[in-house]
Amino acid sequence: MTTAGANRGVISWASLLCILATVALMVVAMRFEGRIWWCECGEPDLWKSSVWTSHCSQHLLDPYSASHFSHGLLFWCFFAWITTGAVGRVTGLASRFPVRWRLVAAVLLAAAWEVAENSPWVIERYRTATMSLDYLGDSVINAVGDVLCCIAGFFTARAIGVRWTLLLFMAIELVMLATIRDNLTLNVIMLVWPIEAIKQWQTQGHEVAWAR
Ligand SMILES: [Zn+2]
C-alpha cells in the first residue's frame, strides 16, 4: 500500500467488513451474556429521554448516547495524538494508520466496551456502587446505538478538529451533569473509585425525577 493509497478514503471494503464483523461479534457476545434484544416494554420508540426509568439503555438512543458520542470524540483525539508530532515519530504510525483503520479501531474499542460493560461483574458493580440501582445491562439494540453514536462522534471530531472537539466534549459533560447528574467523567470515577457523596447526589436526582 502506498502512502497516497493509505490516506485515500475513509472507508474500504476491508475496513467495512471489519466493522460489520465487530458489531456482529458484539451482538453474539451480548446474547451470550444474557442481554435482551430490545426493551421489555415492547414500545417501538427509538429514543427515550428519561434516564430514571426502566427504559434507559433499553432502546436505540437515550441521554447516555451522548457519552458514547463522546467516546468517538476522544478516540479521534487519541489517534490524532499517537500519529502526529513527536509521539507519531515514536510510535511510527504517522503514515501507517489511515482514517479507515482508525475507525475500525474505534469501533473495536466501542464494541469491547459494550461487551465488558454488560458482563455480570460490571453490572453488579454498577448496581452496588453507582446510581444505576435497577441496572440490568443494556439491550442489544442500545449497544448497537452506542456504537453508532461513537462513529458519529469520530466523524464529528474529524470534521471540526481536535481543539473544537475537546471544547465540545467538555460542553457535553456539563450538559449531562446538569440534566441527568451523570456523565463520562463521573461514570469512570464511580466505576473505579466510588464516592458516597456523588452517589447520594445522583440518587436524589433519581427521587426528584420520580416525584414529578
Ligand atoms: Zn422501553
CA of 39 to the centre of ligand 1 (A): 4
If you measure from the C-alpha of residue 164 to the centroid of ligand 1, how many angstroms do you get, rounded to a whole number? 35
User: Which residues are placed with Cβ below 5 angstroms of ligand 1, an ion?
Assistant: 39, 41, 55
On the 0-12 / 13-18 / 19+ scale of CB atoms within 10 A, 160 is middle
Of residues 53, 45, 55, the one with CA closest to residue 138: 55
Whole-angstrom distance, CA of residue 156 vs CA of residue 170: 15
Domain boundaries, the chain: 11-37+48-211
Q: Look at residue 164 in the predicted model and tell me its pLDDT.
A: 98
pLDDT of res. 191: 79
Report pLDDT for 7.
47
Distance 56 CA to ligand 1 centre (A): 7
Q: So what's the pLDDT on residue 117?
A: 86
- List per-residue pLDDT tens for the chain, 212 residues long: 444 444 467 889 999 999 999 999 999 999 999 999 999 998 889 998 888 788 888 999 999 999 999 999 999 999 999 988 888 888 888 778 899 999 999 999 999 999 998 998 888 877 776 656 667 789 999 999 999 999 999 999 999 999 999 999 999 999 999 999 999 999 889 878 888 898 888 888 776 665 54
Contact of 38 with 120, CB cutoff 8 Å: no
Long-range contacts of the stretch 189-197 (C-beta < 8 A, 24+): 190/129, 190/130, 190/131, 191/122, 191/125, 191/126, 191/129, 191/130, 194/129, 194/130
| The three three-digit cell numbers of residue 210, written as one number | 420520580
DSSP state of 2: -
Q: What pLDDT is stored for residue 6 in this prediction?
A: 43
Residue 77 CA to ligand 1 center (angstroms) comes to: 34
pLDDT at 95: 74
Rounded to the nearest whole angstrom, what is the distance from the C-alpha of residue 99 to the centroid of ligand 1? 36
Q: What is the pLDDT of residue 125?
A: 78
Sort 4 into a burial class: Cβ within 10 Å, 0-12 / 13-18 / 19+.
Answer: exposed
Residue 58 contacts residue 35 (beta carbons within 8 Å): no
